[in-house]
């Protein structure tokens, strides 16, 4: 896409011509093509993805670990109710801590 941008193409034209000649599922969609052309126009030609921030973990892992170590028979459903989080969230933290009973 960088070559097409430097040769003066626009994103809509490039997407239309690239998908006309290729019938593969691994081609980019129009939104992705426009995004990369916009980045190129602003002078950012770096092909690396920009780091994205992760939301803070609202569950205190140390507190959860202490509760589980005190009574390791608690289910993830009970822990989720106690912490007011979804079972999926508690389960993913427990897997990281390698502590909870399913």
DSSP code per residue over 16-81 = HHHHHH---TTS--HHHHHHHHHHHHTT----SPPP-PPPP--S-HHHHHHHHHH-TT-BHHHHHH
Q: Please tell me the predicted confidence (pLDDT) of residue 30.
A: 75
Listed in sequence order, the residues at least 6 apart from 52 whose beta carbon sits closer than 8 Å to its beta carbon are none
User: Does 48 reside within a domain?
Assistant: no
Total domains in the chain come to: 2
User: Does 51 reside within a domain?
Assistant: no
| Residue 92 structural domain | 61-97
41 or 3, which is more confident: 41
User: Does 52 reside within a domain?
Assistant: no
User: Does 69 reside within a domain?
Assistant: yes
Q: Please tell me the predicted confidence (pLDDT) of residue 70.
A: 87
User: Does 53 reside within a domain?
Assistant: no
Q: Please tell me the predicted confidence (pLDDT) of residue 21.
A: 47
Instruction: Report pLDDT digits (tens) over 71-80.
Output: 878 888 888 8
User: Does 9 reside within a domain?
Assistant: yes
The reply to whether 37 and 65 lie within a common domain is: no
Residue 5 pLDDT grade (very low, low, confident, very high; cuts 50, 70, 90): low
User: Does 66 reside within a domain?
Assistant: yes
Instruction: Report pLDDT digits (tens) over 21-76.
Output: 455 556 677 787 778 778 777 777 777 777 777 667 677 788 888 888 888 788 88
User: Does 22 reside within a domain?
Assistant: yes
What's this model's pTM, rounded to 2 decimal places? 0.41
């Amino acid at each position: 896409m960088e070559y097409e941008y430097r040769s003066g193409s626009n994103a809509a034209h490039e997407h239309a011509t690239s998908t006309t000649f290729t019938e593969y599922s691994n081609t980019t969609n129009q939104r992705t093509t426009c995004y990369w052309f916009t980045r190129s126009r602003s002078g950012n030609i770096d092909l690396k993805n920009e780091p994205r921030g992760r939301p803070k973990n609202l569950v205190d892992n140390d507190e959860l670990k202490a509760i589980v170590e005190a009574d390791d028979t608690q289910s993830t459903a009970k822990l989720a109710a106690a912490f007011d989080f979804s079972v999926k969230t508690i389960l993913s933290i427990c897997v990281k801590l390698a502590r909870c009973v399913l």
